[in-house]
C-alpha cells in the first residue's frame, strides 16, 4: 500500500502509483532499546526495485503523534542527533552552513558584499567558455556570462526580507543602475558567473544531461552571520545546457516564481527565495500550450537566492556517466557536506547512530562510520518534511522530476504549481502531466520516495553508501513523512492527538463535495466544543464553505461535525485557545493561481501595483488583514480556464 492509500483510503489510486510503491505495507515499531542504540523492525528491500513506503516511528527528544491515536511519546532517531551536531557547529563554522546567530553588521552597498564563489573554486569546471549546446563532460559547471538583451530594464518588485539575509542596504534598490546589474547587462563586482551541469529523471524516465539552461549563478555571498547565500539570475541568456531554447524567461512565469518563492517562505515552508524581479524591456516568443500558437511576451528576470541550488540530478548526471566520473559524485558530496551539512564532518562513535535493519540477519547500519550515509538519511528526512508541509497547505508542485529536487529539502523551480481550490486529490496544475497525473497532489509523497530511491541509487553506484544504508534512508523518508503529516493534520483540526478515522473521513467528505481546501480549514476553527449544539445549527460555522449540498451530503457533514465536537470537548482545550492555534497553522491567504493571473494581466500592461500588493499580503498569510478579504475569496469562473488553473512547463 502506498502513502497515498494511507492518506486517502477511499479514493481509487491512479495506475502508475503501483509502479512507484508496490508490495505489502509494513508497520515500523520501536522494539528494543539498548542505551543509545535503537533496533527497528523493517521489511527486506533493495534500492534497485520500487521501494515500499513505511509508517513512521518516533523521533528522539520530539513529541510524536501516533497513527492509532496513542498519546505522544518520546523516542530516539537519527534526526535529533544530527540536530545536536548542527548546533555544535553553528559557532565554529565560518564558511557557511546555518549561521551563528550573530547580530547584523552594517548594511552594505552592492560593491561591499562578501562574495566567496566556493562552487567554482572547489569543483571541476568546463574548460570551454562558449554557450554552444553540447554535452559537458567531467565538469560540475560551465563559466558563462549573462547574455540577455535589455532595453531600459525596470525593477518590478523586491523582497526586503531577502535583502536582510544578504545584509543589503535597502537603498540599493533605488540605484538607477540596479536593473542593469541584476539583469546581467552590467557586471557586479566580485561575481564569478556559471551554469550548473545536472541531469535527471523527467516523468519517471532518465533524460540525461539537463543543466541550467536559462539560469546563471552569480556566486555566493557570505553574510554577517556566516551564512552562505547563492544568487542566481533566471532568464539571463543561453548556456551550454540551453539545448534548443533561448535561455530567456517571460514576465508571467517570472511573476509566479517571484511571488510563490516568498509566499511559501511566509507559510513556513522551506523554499528558494527571490531577491528581485525585473523586466528586460524586450519581448520573448513563447508557445504556452505547445499548440503552434506562438506569441510575443514581455521578458523578465528573477534573482533567485538559496544556500545552494544543488539537486538530486547534480549527482545523477555524473554517476550515469560511469566509473570515471564517480570521483565527481564524491567531490560534490564532500562539497555539500562541508558547506551545508558540516555536522556530519565531526561525527564520532560516541554518537552511536546505529540501527538494525531487521531481526533475520541482525545487520546494523552505523551512520557514524559513514558520513555519506548519515547525509543521505538527512536529505531523505528533509525531503519528507518538505512534502508533508506541501500536503498540509494544499500545494502541488507540478513537476517533481529529480532535477527539481533540492538536496537541502527546499521547494525549488516554480513552474506550473498550484494551491488546491476545490479539494481534489487528483489535481495537477501541469497540462503535460494530465495523461497519467504522476505529479498530482495525492501522489507527491510517493513520488518523493521514488526520487529519494534514485538519489540513494546514485550514491550507491558511486560506492559512497551500501545497499543497507540506501534502504535505511528510504525507510526514514517514510517514517519522517508520516510523523510530520500526522502532526500537521492534527494541528489543522485543533486536536491534541492524531485521529486517523476522523481525518480520513474529513478528507473524503471534502473530496466528494469539492470543498475549498484553504477556506474550509480556516473556517473550522469557528466551531465550538459544545455537544449540546442543536443539530440544525451544527453546520452554521461552515456555511460559507459547504455550498450547494443536498440532504444526503448535509447529513454526512452533520455526522462528522458531531464526532468532531465530541473530540473537541474531550480535549479540554478552550475554544479561544484552539482557534488561535488553528489560525496559526491554517492560512487565510494563499497564492491562488487566479490571483497570480490578475497580477500578471496588470503587469503586462505596465502596472506592477498588484504584484507588490500580493507580495505584501502573502507576507502575512495567517493574519486577518482587514480590508484584504477579497484575496481570500473563491476563484471566479474565469479562473478555471487553461493558462490560469493549469499551465504547461513552457515559460
The catalytic residue positions are 403
CA–CA gap between residue 587 and residue 518 (Å, rounded):
7
Query: What is the SS3 string spanning 59-124?
Result: CCCCCECCCCCCCCECCCCHHHHHHHHHHHHCCCCCCCCCCCCCCCCCCECHHHCCECCHHHHHCC
What is the full DSSP assignment across 273-312?
EEEEEEEEEEEEEE-TTSSS--EEEEEEEEEEEES---BH
- Degrees to nearest 5, angle at CA 314 with 342 and 386: 65
**Nearest partner of 110 among 225, 217, 187, judged by Cα:** 187
Backbone angles phi, psi at 392, to 5 degrees: -65, -35
User: Which positions ≥6 away from 606 have C-beta within 8 Å?
Assistant: none
Element (H, E) at 393: helix 371-393
Q: What does the alpha-carbon distance between residue 411 and residue 384 come to, in Å, rounded to a whole number?
A: 12
CB 313 within 8 A of CB 210: yes
**For residue 297, how many other CB atoms are within 10 A of its CB?**
20
% helix / strand / coil in the chain, to the nearest 5? 40, 15, 45
Q: Which three cell numbers stand for residue 478?
A: 517514510
Q: For residue 554, give the 3-state DSSP assignment.
A: helix
Say if residue 156 is exposed, middle or buried (CB neighbours under 10 Å; 0-12, 13-18, 19+): buried
Angle at the Cα of 73 from the Cα atoms of 70 and 79, rounded to 5 degrees: 125
Amino acid at each position: 500500500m502506498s502513502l497515498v492509500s494511507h492518506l486517502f483510503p477511499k479514493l481509487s489510486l491512479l495506475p502508475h502509483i503501483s509502479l512507484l510503491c508496490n508490495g505489502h505495507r509494513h508497520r515500523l515499531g520501536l522494539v528494543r532499546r539498548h542505551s543509545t542504540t535503537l533496533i527497528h523492525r523493517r521489511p527486506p528491500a533493495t534500492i534497485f526495485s520500487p521501494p515500499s513506503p513505511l509508517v513512521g516511528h518516533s523521533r528522539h527528544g520530539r513529541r510524536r503523534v501516533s497513527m492509532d491515536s496513542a498519546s505522544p511519546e518520546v523516542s530516539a532517531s537519527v534526526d535529533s542527533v544530527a540536530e545536536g551536531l548542527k548546533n555544535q557547529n553553528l559557532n565554529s563554522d565560518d564558511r557557511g552552513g546555518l549561521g551563528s546567530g550573530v547580530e547584523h553588521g552594517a548594511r552594505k552597498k552592492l560593491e561591499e558584499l562578501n562574495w566567496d564563489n566556493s562552487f567554482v573554486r572547489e569543483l571541476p569546471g568546463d574548460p570551454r567558455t562558449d554557450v554552444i549546446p553540447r554535452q559537458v563532460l567531467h565538469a560540475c559547471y560551465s563559466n558563462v556570462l549573462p547574455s540577455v538583451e535589455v532595453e531600459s530594464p525596470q525593477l518590478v518588485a523586491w523582497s526586503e526580507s531577502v535583502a536582510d539575509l544578504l545584509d543589503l542596504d535597502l537603498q540599493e534598490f533605488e540605484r538607477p543602475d540596479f536593473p542593469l546589474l541584476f539583469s546581467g547587462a552590467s557586471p557586479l563586482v566580485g561575481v564569478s558567473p556559471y551554469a550548473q551541469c545536472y541531469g535527471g529523471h523527467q516523468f519517471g524516465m532518465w533524460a540525461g544531461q539537463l543543466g541550467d539552461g536559462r539560469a546563471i549563478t552569480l556566486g555566493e555571498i557570505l553574510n554577517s552571520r556566516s551564512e552562505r547565500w547563492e544568487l542566481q539570475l533566471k532568464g539571463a541568456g543561453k548556456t551550454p545546457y540551453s539545448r534548443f531554447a533561448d535561455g530567456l524567461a517571460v514576465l508571467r512565469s517570472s511573476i509566479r516564481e517571484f511571488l510563490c518563492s516568498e509566499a511559501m517562505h511566509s507559510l513556513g515552508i522551506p523554499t528558494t527565495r527571490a531577491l528581485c524581479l525585473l523586466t528586460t524591456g524586450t519581448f520573448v516568443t513563447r508557445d504556452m500550450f505547445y499548440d503552434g500558437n506562438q506569441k510575443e511576451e514581455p521578458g523578465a528576470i528573477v534573482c533567485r537566492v538559496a544556500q545552494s541550488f544543488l539537486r538530486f540530478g547534480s549527482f545523477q548526471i555524473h554517476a550515469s556517466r560511469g566509473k570515471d566520473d564517480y570521483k565527481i559524485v564524491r567531490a560534490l558530496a564532500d562539497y555539500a557536506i562541508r558547506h551545508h551539512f558540516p555536522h556530519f564532518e565531526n561525527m564520532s562513535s560516541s554518537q552511536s547512530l546505529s540501527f538494525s535493519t531487521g531481526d533475520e540477519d541482525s545487520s546494523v547500519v552505523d551512520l557514524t562510520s559513514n558520513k555519506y550515509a548519515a547525509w543521505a538519511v538527512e536529505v531523505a528526512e528533509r525531503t519528507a518534511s518538505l512534502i508533508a508541509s506541501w500536503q498540509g497547505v494544499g500545494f502541488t508542485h507540478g513537476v517533481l522530476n529529480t532535477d527539481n529536487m533540492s538536496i537541502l529539502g527546499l521547494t525549488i523551480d516554480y513552474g506550473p504549481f498550484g494551491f488546491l481550490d476545490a479539494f481534489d486529490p487528483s489535481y495537477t496544475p501541469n497540462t503535460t502531466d494530465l495523461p497519467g497525473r504522476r505529479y498530482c497532489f495525492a501522489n507527491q509523497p510517493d513520488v518523493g520516495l521514488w526520487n529519494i530511491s534514485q538519489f540513494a541509487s546514485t550514491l550507491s553506484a558511486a560506492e559512497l553508501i551500501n545497499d543497507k544504508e540506501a534502504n535505511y534512508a528510504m525507510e526514514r523518508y517514510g517514517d519522517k513523512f508520516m510523523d510530520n503529516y500526522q502532526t500537521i493534520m492534527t494541528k489543522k483540526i485543533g486536536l491534541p492527538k492524531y485521529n486517523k478515522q476522523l481525518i480520513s473521513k474529513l478528507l473524503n467528505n471534502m473530496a466528494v463535495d469539492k470543498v475549498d481546501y484553504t477556506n474550509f480549514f480556516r473556517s473550522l476553527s469557528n466551531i465550538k466544543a459544545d455537544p449540546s449544539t442543536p443539530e440544525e445549527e451544527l453546520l452554521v460555522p461552515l456555511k460559507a464553505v459547504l455550498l450547494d449540498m443536498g440532504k444526503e451530503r448535509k447529513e454526512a457533514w452533520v455526522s462528522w461535525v458531531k464526532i468532531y465536537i465530541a473530540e473537541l470537548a474531550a480535549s479540554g482545550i478552550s475554544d479561544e485557545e484552539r482557534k488561535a492555534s488553528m489560525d496559526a497553522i491554517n492560512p487565510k491567504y494563499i497564492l491562488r493561481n487566479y490571483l497570480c493571473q490578475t497580477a500578471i494581466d496588470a503587469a503586462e500592461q505596465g502596472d506592477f501595483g498588484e504584484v507588490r500588493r500580493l507580495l505584501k499580503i502573502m507576507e502575512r498569510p495567517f493574519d486577518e488583514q482587514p480590508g484584504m478579504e477579497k484575496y481570500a475569496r473563491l476563484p471566479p469562473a474565469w479562473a478555471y480556464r487553461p493558462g490560469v488553473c493549469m499551465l504547461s512547463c513552457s515559460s
